[in-house]
Amino acid sequence: MPDLRPFRGLRYDPAAVDDWGAVLGPPYDVVDAAERAALTARSPYQINHIESASGEPAIARAAEQLEQWQRRGVLRRDERPSYYLHEHLFQHEERERIRLCFFVRARLTPWGTGEIRPHEWTMSGPREERASLRRATRADISPVFAIAPDRWGGLGALLADALRRPVVAAGVDAAGDHHRLRVINEPASIAALQAALEAEPVYIADGHHRYESALADREQRAAATEAWTGDEPENFVLMGIVRAADPGLVVSATHRLVHSGQRPPNLVATLRSRFQVEEVGGPSAGPGPLLRRMQEAGGRAPAIGALGLEESRCHLLIADERTRAALPARLPPSWRDLDMALLQGALLEPLLGVDDAALRGGEAMTYTHDAVAAFAAVRDGRAWCALLLNPPALEQVFASADCGDRMPQKSTYFLPKLPTGVVLYSFR
């Protein structure tokens, strides 16, 4: 089972930064240049001064800046090993939600050991840059996001009890989300939480690149050190864990926009030999009717929404045995009920030519989490087809990871991203 330990967190001193919410920010992979500028303008100590560093010179400057903040007392290291409970209040679909996340340091183990399980494939570029930032700062700045099944409810009961502890920091971030932090450092509480945390494997929801970067950094440092014990700080990674049953855990869909090529002739007729095909109105009504029909059908079988398969038409594609029969034999068995795998194997690759090489190039297809934006891209001619997906169920994520078959890239999107800056894990 996973080794999930307390640690002496490196934290912002709320008194030193004036506004604790202003220094928090999203992880690097969802921040563009304009958003980074807006974030860093909020505070000279905004975490994106460090987290978004890209390229060797910028990473070196970020490492020096992190050192300066510690010398000035902006960041202080806790005296006692602790677990950290983060409460995140946010709006989703016009409802207020609260998500509890538990920050630990997790022992790094290679994929395949069964202790910490990935669910998605990654690309090499982001891994290399994250490893460089980790080596330069000698710290984990942003956490890996993991999910604990907590099938017996023991962890949930302990976290409910932990909410009675005093709040040590609170604030509102740039998106208007509210954050509260509590520290748990009593030996009895730590022992109970550690036992509950280590009762089951954990599943990475987001941050596969960060985890693999930490593994690469650990291996490099171990190879360069003669007396490597396995308990050095680099053998662990900062991880935020959310219970699967947490009401604030939101799994969203990632929709596809097709840019390359042109619409093949008789495409809908061809698809009728592979899917059950329904016409669901036109694009003028927006994606709402199509999304509702997708959700209804998705309770019985994988269902994919489409705009652009025919001019000014919306379609629903419902998978059946013909769809599975059209899949390439190389696909793992666990993929045969995944909406995104059926889409890729039965439509995108064989009919539209969007294969693995085209996906790696990044120009044939792009992704969005916003169905309205997907429709707008087709309407404006930026894409000739939008393909909408239902969000996968957590049971699908767990099942795919349990049998060692990672899901296709961009299969899941967990909302909101874990904030960066709540607590850092320093190796010094």
Average pLDDT, the chain: 93
User: Rounded to the nearest 5 degrees, what angle is found at the Cα of 366, between the Cα atoms of 365 and 368?
Assistant: 140
Residue 121: what pLDDT? 67
What pLDDT band is residue 368 in, cutting at 50, 70 and 90?
Answer: very high
- Poorest-pLDDT segment among 272-281, 332-341, 381-390: 332-341
pTM: predicted TM-score of the whole model, two decimal places: 0.91
**How distant is the alpha carbon of residue 418 from its chain centre?**
8
Q: Parallel, antiparallel, or unpaired: how do β-strands 425-426 and 139-140 relate?
A: antiparallel
Residue of 344, 323, 339, 335 lying closest to 277 (CA atoms): 323
Q: Parallel, antiparallel, or unpaired: how do β-strands 413-415 and 95-107 relate?
A: unpaired
* Tens-digit pLDDT profile for residues 322-350: 999 999 888 888 788 899 999 999 999 99
Contact 203, 401 (CB under 8 A): yes
* Residues constituting the chain: 428
Residue 300: what pLDDT? 94
**Greatest Cα-to-Cα distance within the chain, rounded to the nearest angstrom:** 68
How far apart are alpha carbons 307 and 141 in whole angstroms?
Answer: 40
* Tens-digit pLDDT profile for residues 128-137: 788 899 999 9
How far apart are alpha carbons 83 and 103 in whole angstroms?
Answer: 6
Residue 175 DSSP class:
T
pLDDT exceeds 60 at position 125:
no
* Tens-digit pLDDT profile for residues 39-95: 999 999 999 999 999 899 999 999 999 999 999 999 999 999 999 999 999 999 889
